[in-house]
Structure 1
Amino acid sequence: MINIGVIPNFSKDPGGVKTSAIVSKIQQRGMYPLVLPEVYEVINAGKVVAKEEFYRSCDFVFVLGGDGTLLRAARQACKYGLPVLGINMGRLGFLTEVEVSDIDQALDSILAGNYYVEQRMMLKAKLLRQGMEMCELMALNDIAIAKASFARIIHLKVFINGEFVGYYPADGVLVSSPTGSTAYSLSAGGPIINPAMECLLLTPICPHALNARAIVTDSKDEICIVVADKSRDVLLTVDGQEGVPVYKGDRIVVTKAEVETRLVRIKRPSFFGLLRDKMTERLSDLPEAGGGIEE
């Protein structure tokens, strides 16, 4: 008996039409689709499981949406070591594995055992205030300490393994995993890193300094970021989705997490082939050079 947790993003599937079809295909193959109560209210299908029991009841998690939906699910699934299959309903889809049109093949491959699981390194951030741990957060892509609003810079001190690295007047600082190197960090000018590697990537966001550059360091290292700004308008965010305010003197300690995200892979694409294809897709979405703003 294979229990498959189904996590849809209804903003990309209004009315749950595609989600209902996928749930039916899971049932047709003798597997058991598990859904949260709020999902059942929309599609009226699948076995309802309470939120606190959902992940521990699953053998696989199917995420229906884009990379953002998958990131949110991955932070929960990693606690239980669950393999996650991303089904793309978004635009770019670096992390999602299959399109909705490929779901039959994906289900048959899982039943036949014709798949593999790719391990992705995750990050852990601890927020320390006056020596006390305020919270611990996990991320698959990145940990950001950045201004929440207003057109002004903030000031951050960065240490690696206790050694002072630099003082950054900037919009903020990112610590990314190799997976996250193609996300926010890439937009901030950071390098692209093969996700099969294990390392930490430190990228300043719009630094107001000529010598501030991205740094790649060992995955066993500890990066500590100290808020040196009196502003109350600074946030610690994980994967751009969850955030907590930070204040002057707060220390954010980022390390490799003890858990990993396990991504189900049906195909065996080259990372660099995928990178080329996705970057081409991203460029094709831009308006033509010289074109005006559409009314």
Structure 2
Amino acid sequence: MRRILVFTHTGRRDAVVATLETCSLLSAAGIVPVMRAKDQAALTQAVGEPVPGVQILDVDCQLDDIDLGVVLGGDGSVLRAAELVRDAALPLVGVNLGHVGFLAEAERSELEATVAAIVNGSYTVEERMTIEVKVWADNVCLAETWALNEAAVEKANRERMVEVVIEVDGRPISTFGCDGVVMATPTGSTAYSFSAGGPVVWPDVAALIMVPISAHALFAKPLVVSPTSTMAVEMLTRTDATAVLWCDGRRTLDLPPGARIEVTRSATPVRLARMNTTPFSERLVNKFELPITGWRGPAKEDKRRTATTALPVIVPGMQSVEPHHKDEPSIPMVGRPEDSSQEH
């Protein structure tokens, strides 16, 4: 008996309707929909009666009994679901009911086709890097957690910047005042890191990203480092500004003065199910509605041909520009023929 775990944002009417449709399609295909007790109770209250054929997680079955998780909502809903299933290595497929929805595989209009692909097993599973986050103070580990998108150190008070030192692999990089620092995965490069001015990194690139937020400094550029590196942010104590740590915008911790936040690659990824092979570049264009008018693309293989005449790499009379030398300060930097000795 196959079981599919259904996550939903029960506070939204469109999510409730999508959940009822998903459960109905799964049941009609002979697959048992499973929900968490609180989601099932909220759904029952919303529609006025229990949804037939739905099993309750941790009552009728366990995570190990489930094949896949379907998330109906936005990226926040996917992050909430990832908290529950990450250690069980359960793949998730998101159906976007939000705005951008970078973590989602399909849109609301594709719900029926998505369920059909799940029923037929027509999907692949990819692993997304996560990060381990540790908070230290006076050589004591105060907290340890993880993130799929990012760990963000932010100022706690709007009026005061925080003073930090950023570090990579045990070596300091720079000190500055800022609104915060984002330490992200490639998956998180299109989330908070992107909003802070960081680079967009393809999900299959093995790298870690560090992005200062509104830094008051000449050198405070985004950094892309090795996946084996350790990134760190140390809170300086020369001001009384306080800070807070946010992981995926969900788990938070107040940071004491002098706290040190270390981020490394985690050994436990989050698994996402994919129904299609749309390149990330195309997803980027679609999600951000990027202008691509005028693009011609590479020449088709059957249309390519070599030039009828070889093009010269170096043409006669080409001049080179020689730099000044310390022993020839009076020689101007001008174009001269290659064999200048023959002119004299």
User: TM-score normalized by structure 1?
Assistant: 0.90
Task: Give the deviation of 1:247 after TM superposition.
Answer: 1.2
Deviations along 1:211-264, one digit per CA (max 9) or x if unpaired, are 110110000001121111454631111111221100112111100011111111
Task: Give the deviation of 1:35 after TM superposition.
Answer: 0.8
Task: Give the deviation of 1:108 after TM superposition.
Answer: 2.2
Which of 115, 119, 130 does residue 122 from structure 1 map onto?
A: 130
1 or 2 for the larger relative contact order (CA 8 Å, sep ≥6)? 1
Which of 257, 277, 283 does residue 266 from structure 2 map onto?
A: 257
Tell me how far apart the structure 1 counterparts of residues 66 and 281 of structure 2 sit (CA, whole Å).
32
Letter in 2 for 1:109: A
Deviations along 1:21-44, one digit per CA (max 9) or x if unpaired, are 211111111111111111111232
SS at match of 1:191: coil
Decide which structure has the larger Cα Rg and report it: 2
Residue pairs, 1:111-260, within 5 angstroms: 111-229=119-237, 230-231=239-240, 233-260=242-269
Tell me how far apart the structure 2 counterparts of residues 148 and 69 of structure 1 sit (CA, whole Å).
25
CA, structure 1 residues 15+273, in 2 after alignment: closer, same or farther (shift >3 Å)?
A: closer
Identity, in percent, stands at 31
Kept in 1: contact 2:15–2:73 (CA 8 A): no
Letter in 1 for 2:193: S
Deviations along 1:191-214, one digit per CA (max 9) or x if unpaired, are 111111110100000000121101
Letter in 2 for 1:267: N
Equivalences, count: 281
Tell me how far apart the structure 2 counterparts of residues 15 and 260 of structure 1 sit (CA, whole Å).
27
The structure whose residues are more often strand, as a share, is: 1
SS at match of 1:274: helix
Tell me how far apart the structure 2 counterparts of residues 57 and 245 of structure 1 sit (CA, whole Å).
38
Tell me how far apart the structure 2 counterparts of residues 93 and 133 of structure 1 sit (CA, whole Å).
34
SS at match of 2:129: strand
Counterpart in the other structure of 1:20: 20
CA, structure 1 residues 130+57, in 2 after alignment: closer, same or farther (shift >3 Å)?
A: farther
Task: Give the deviation of 1:105 after TM superposition.
Answer: 1.8
Query: Please, which moves more after superposition, 187-196 or 229-238?
Result: 229-238
Counterpart in the other structure of 1:49: 57
The CA RMSD measured in Å over matched residues stands at: 1.9
Query: Please, which moves more after superposition, 112-121 or 195-204?
Result: 112-121
Kept in 1: contact 2:161–2:241 (CA 8 A): no
- The answer to whether 1:90 aligns with 2:98 is yes
Task: Give the deviation of 1:270 after TM superposition.
Answer: 1.2
- Gaps of at least 5 residues in structure 1 are 283-295
Counterpart in the other structure of 1:102: 110
Tell me how far apart the structure 1 counterparts of residues 16 and 149 of structure 2 sit (CA, whole Å).
28
